[in-house]
A = this chain, B = another copy of it.
Amino acid sequence: MADPSNEFQTIQSIGSKALLKQITNFDAYKREEVVTSVGDDAAVVSDDGDSLTLLSSDTYVEGVDFDLTYTPFHHLGYKVVAAAISDIYAMNGEPHGMLINMAVPNRISVQMIKEIYRGIYAAGENHKTEVIGGDLKANHSNLVITVSVYGKAEKKRITYRSGANEGDAICISGDVGGALAGLRILMREKKYWEEHGGDEQIQPELGDYEFVVKSQLVPEARRDLIETLKTHDIIPTSMIDVTKGLVNEISELSEASGLGAYIYQAALPIAIETRHVADEMEEDVDRYALFGGEDLEIMFTLPEKEVEEFVNHFNDFVVIGRMVPQEEGMQMQTAEGAVVSFDELS
């Protein structure tokens, strides 16, 4: 087990995803009832009945995943829960309960914690999910929050990343890139504020940017999509939630399904407000859409025929491409008609 070399290998040098893969190769204890563990949005465990239990947990680190200088505490509480719950929706399941663990530095007051919890409970209410446990520990420097969610999926409805078929349409709910556009605005305002001596009298003017700032601070997990799929008995062939950016998510889904993907740049769902921000920043809005994370939208695949049916019931999604044989790789047709591989994009 021990590495023979004494060299200090940083986690950044191999990436946390690769490290987790190396670790999970260990000859570890396995239980019969565990259907899938690492490798999808949530772990899946067999129940006695017709349902499956889904479990997922995410850690959010102050200074890495969020910045308290521009994040209201109740928004923070709402967002960490929405993001954790989105992993359950991404399995076509419903969240039921959550455990909240916080490591709290002493510059965070009782009132601030209560504000975070106000957001947590608001998200719980909207997503019918009860806070059932967790703890509160002291930390030296920064706030660290872990949200663990459990939920249920019907055995016949559960949807994995790995189920996409050749020819399936790649669909995505809502729009993408908005959360990154919001982050850009908030970072600009923070910089301005710092350069002006941190004067508390200067209030950032965010009114014009409400849409994108909201996309960043309080993104909403797509319960509506999951409910509509259920109502009309449509089961996607595969699903994943968009938290690290479209390119990453399409790649994950294609790899898990043993396929390639072909997408159309012109079809990327980008809000007009997101375009305005990119223009103002003199940046490429398509990069926001392709690489921006945290939108909490759901990417899913459906046979063409079912897309035609589903569009009658749910209007907040678009088709951005289709699944192709693995040997065709990952490609995007640009608005100008050129075809570029995903490798050229990054």
Contacts and interface: CB of A to CB of B under 8 A. Distances in A.
A11 interface: yes
Interface in A82-113: 96-97, 99, 101-104, 106, 108-111, 113
Interface in A51-80: 51, 53, 55-61, 63-65
Contacts of A288: none
B111 A55 contact: no
28 contacts: A1-B114, A3-B111, A8-B109, A11-B104, A11-B108, A11-B109, A11-B110, A14-B110, A19-B113, A19-B136, A23-B114, A29-B129, A29-B130, A34-B96, A45-B96, A45-B150, A56-B99, A57-B133, A57-B146, A58-B135, A59-B101, A59-B137, A61-B103, A61-B138, A64-B137, A64-B139, A139-B142, A139-B144
Given A43-B99, A99-B56, A124 B28 contact: yes
A131 interface: yes
A10 interface: yes
A47 to B, nearest CB: 6
A111 B31 contact: no
A22 to B, nearest CB: 7
Interface residues on A, range: 35 or more
Given A9-B109, A110-B14, A142-B140, A135 B59 contact: yes
Contact of A103 (B48, B59, B132): B59
A30 interface: yes
A12 B22 CA distance: 40
B33 A2 contact: no
A141 interface: yes
